[in-house]
Structures are given as structure tokens and as C-alpha cells.
Chain A
Amino acid sequence: MTELATTPQAKALHEQFCRDVMSMPGGEKIKICQQCGTCTGSCPTSYLMDWGPREIIAAFRAGMIDRVVKSNTIWLCTSCYYCTVRCPAGIKITDLMYELKRMAIKYDLVPKDSKNPAMTKIFVDSVHRHGRNHEVELMTRFMLAKDRGLPFKYWQVGLKLFAAGRLPLAAKNIRGRDELDKISAYLDAQEAKSQ
């Protein structure tokens, strides 16, 4: 595992990541992290993480890109924003985690055993197809892609919800669902132009 940005490729990747992080709204505040650990102490899932959020920031700043993107940390962030509202330096840590997730997906660096990246992609895909998230479709597609054991775990929960009419099988399509594809296509084109 390359831990320091010593190879030219790792160095280039690190520079790219730094640019991406700094260009997100408020991203430059990562420079003033004083490593107090309030984020890790506030995080409800830090006990499962390879590295807590504080360590992720330290590793990121030190150029240990592999450690950052291959860790399970970013995929264990539930977006609860506790770290963000408590950070004394005002770093939007939840947004940083989102940025790292996006980069991990973009450069295909997601940990093989994590199911969260697949869920994320299926969700977005489902929204583009219907305009809204269809919960039954989301669960079915996730199950087929990542967890065939899901029905065995959740059949009782599912049956109860289905009986209560809380799991409608038919998806609702909005009229303007093609707009979502067009929005993405426009932003893709803008991004390509700027590079």
C-alpha cells in the first residue's frame, strides 16, 4: 500500500484530490484543522471506522491518499452532520466525506466489501428513471446486486409493511423525469469544458 504520495501517480492523484476538496464550498477550511478530535468523538459510527474523521483529515493533508480513499471510513458516514455542527474550525466534515465518496467512485477506488457505493449508485439511477425514489425497486435492485440474503433477513419486516400498504409495487413516474437527465448532461458538458 502506497501510504505517502511518493510515486508520481499518487502525487498527481493527491494534487487532484486537493484541488477538488479546496474547490468545494468552504473546502479550504480543512487547512485550519487543529486535530482536536471533536468530529471523531461525535461520530456515531467511528467505532467501526479504520480511521476516524480526525485521522482522515490528517492523512489527507499528509498526502496519504490510499489510506483515505481505501478506508471504510467515508462509507460509514451516515450524514448525521454531528461533526459538522460541532467542529470548532467550521470544517464541513460531512461535505468532505461526500467529496471523498465522489472521488472514490470517480476513480473507482471503493472498497470491494462495502455495499454503500452500490446502494448510492442504484438510488441515483432509480431517481433518474422515475423522477422519484421507488423504495421497492431500490431494495430489489440492491438485493440483486449486493445482498441476495436480504429477503431472508427482512421477509417479516417486508411482509408487515406490505400488508399495511406501505410498500407499493408500482413506481410513479413524474412528467418531467427527462429533465433530470438533461440537468446532468448540461453539468457534465460544463465540467468537460472547464478541464
Chain B
Amino acid sequence: MRYLYYPGCSAEATGKGYDASARALMEKLGVSLVELDDWNCCGATSYFSVRELDSFAIAARNLAIAQQMGDDELCVICNACYTTLAKANRYMAEDPKVFAAVQGALGAVGRTYDGNVKVRHIMDILINDIGLEEFEKHVTRRLTGLKVAPYYGCQFSRPMGAFDDVQMPTTMDRLFEATGADVITDFDAKTDCCGGMMMLTREDAALRLCHELLVAARQGGADVIVAACPLCEINLEAYQPRVNKFFGTDFDIPVMYFTQLAGLALGVDPKQLAIDKQVVSCASVLAAIPA
């Protein structure tokens, strides 16, 4: 199997571990990820706040390149990229005005896009294309006894809901159940917001949201939190000392990209999964996994 792959901007910086582990995990499963040529930023939430049609058009530039490369699917790892790119598709399909504007804008740079490249979250591909049965066959180091808090974040299935429930997704729960992990299935903060970019602009608001998530994870007895979005991951992981300072807490919970933990279960070398680049030590998680 082969997928065209859109890493997203975070994959080149704070989210390097997500990119490295996604590639390594898929390779282990016999899937090759081919990077989209000369991709640009999806525009994220910021672009929507400035110009609406531009945000669809610059997102669609990536889809036009995918079309040009002869693909009809694009694998995305970041929740925000996934939602932004998929939203461009949806609005182009729903609104002829948006379709015409995007067509025109892309035409101005010599590109065309017909609206037919399906945007796929990597979780969607894991669950629905590869399948849990096949995934489980590759599990060589079962995560038995490891308490995992599956943290999906906002834009995993909201608002698209294309491959999981909009309000109560379960795909990540099922993926880690297949590794033998003790998944906290009633982790009801699983789609709560981490504060996103507000960590820089309204720290008080973002820290409070992260605090609530960490409290919920601890109440569930989590050994590790797994995330499906680079922004969720960085906020929950790197800002734990700030949360502790603000709320007088002592959180030191390992946070991983879900592809890192899934990769460990498949026997991928921790270094290849960039687990040494996590800033909250994951030593306790590594120690809990049998060799």
C-alpha cells in the first residue's frame, strides 16, 4: 500500500516526533508514505480568521498538487491540517461560489483541482484500510497493563465526523485495545480542547484547559496520554511545568503521539520513533513494556 502524505508545518518543528513515528509505524505495516511535493501550510485556524476564500484556496493548492501527482487520497497526521483540508473539500462541494472562487484562484497560478482528492486522517487509514485485525498481527510487544488515556482533541472528528463519531470518537480506544493496553475507555475529556494557539495569546485560558485534561487523565490512572494532534501534544506535554506552577500541582505524565506508542507495540526502535525527543520523560512507559 502507498499513500500520498501531508506532514504539516509542525512536523518540521515541535511535532517532529509525530512525523517520524507516523512514517516508522506505517513502514512497519508495509505502507509507504510519499510526501506531497512542495506542500504549503494548510492555513490552520488563523487563515480562516483573516480571509475566508483565501483559506480554502491555499488549502486546495495542496489538493491540486495531489491531483497532479495522480492521487485521489491524501494522508494527514495533524488534526488541524486534516480539518482544514477536508473543510476546503466540503465547502467546495456544498457551495458553488466557493468552488468557482477556488478554481479561479488556482487557475491564476496554473493549477487545477476538481474536488476529488479525499483527505484521510492517519487514524482513518489505520482503522479502515489496514484494519485492526491486520494491525494486531504486527503487535510484537503487547502493552499489557499500561494505562492509556486516549486524547483525541477537538478537530479529530469535529466538525467532519467522516470516520468517527463527532462527539465521542472511539477509534483510538480500539487501536490501543488491539495492543493489549489497558485503555481508559471512559476518559470523558477525550475530545476537550487543549487551548490550541491560546497558549501564547491567553495563557491563563489554555493552562486551565490543560489542567482539566491532566486532572482527568490522573483520575483515570493514566500511565501515558496519547495524542493525535501536534498542538494538543505540545500543550499537554511541554506546558506541564507551567500548569504545575499555576495550579500548585505536580503533574509529570508522559505524553506521546499515538503513533509513537503504537510503534512501540509493533516493536519499532524507540529512537526511530523519536521518543527521546519528548520533554516529559517516557522512561516509565518504556520500562513498562516487555522486551
Contacts and interface: CB of A to CB of B under 8 A. Distances in A.
Interface in B155-204: 155, 158-159, 161, 166-167, 191-193, 195-198, 200-203
Interface in A101-150: 101-102, 105, 114-117, 119-121, 123-124, 127, 131-136, 139, 142, 146-147, 150
A147 B203 CA distance: 12
Contact of A164 (B39, B61, B166, B277): B277
Given A25-B94, A98-B48, A175-B38, 9 more contacts: A78-B45, A82-B193, A98-B49, A127-B41, A134-B13, A160-B279, A165-B277, A179-B109, A183-B57
Given A132-B40, A135-B14, A182 B108 contact: yes
A25 B92 CA distance: 10
Interface residues on A, range: 35 or more
Contact of B154 (A80, A120, A157, A184): A80
Interface stretch (B129-137, B238-246, B248-256, B260-268): B238-246
Contacts of B154: 78-82
Contact of B39 (A82, A123, A142, A174): A174
B104 interface: yes
B170 to A, nearest CB: 16
Interface in A147-195: 147, 150, 153-154, 156-157, 160-161, 164-168, 172, 174-177, 179-180, 182-187, 190
By CB atoms of chain B within 10 A, which of A25, A79, A172 has the most?
A: A79
B32 interface: no
B106 interface: yes
A124 B47 contact: yes
Interface in B96-155: 98, 101, 104-106, 108-109, 111, 154-155
10 contacts: A80-B154, A81-B155, A82-B191, A85-B161, A85-B167, A116-B197, A123-B44, A133-B41, A146-B201, A166-B17
A40 interface: no
Given A82-B158, A115-B202, A190 B193 contact: no
Interface string B1-20: 00000000110111111000
A179 B61 contact: yes
Nearest to B276: A164
Main secondary structure on chain A at its contact with chain B? helix
A174 B54 contact: no
B50 A105 contact: yes
A86 B45 contact: no
A124 B45 CA distance: 10
Nearest to A166: B14
Contacts of B58: 127, 180, 183
A26 B198 CA distance: 27
Contact of B158 (A84, A124, A146, A177): A84
Interface string B224-245: 0000000000000011011000
- A-B pairs with lowest CB-CB distance, top 10: A80-B154, A123-B46, A81-B158, A186-B108, A80-B193, A115-B201, A179-B109, A133-B9, A101-B49, A79-B45
A9 to B, nearest CB: 24
Given A165-B16, A174-B38, A176-B109, A84 B159 contact: yes
B290 to A, nearest CB: 27
B50 A121 contact: yes
Nearest to A25: B95
Contacts of B98: 25
B205 interface: yes
A76 interface: yes
Nearest to A150: B200
B222 interface: no
Nearest to B83: A81
Contacts of A105: 49-50
B91 interface: yes
A73 interface: no
Given A102-B52, A157-B238, A142 B200 contact: yes
A132 B12 contact: yes
Contacts of B161: 85
Contact of B53 (A80, A185, A187): A187
A48 B53 contact: no
Given A127-B43, A167-B14, A98 B52 contact: yes
Interface in B29-71: 38-41, 43-54, 57-58, 61
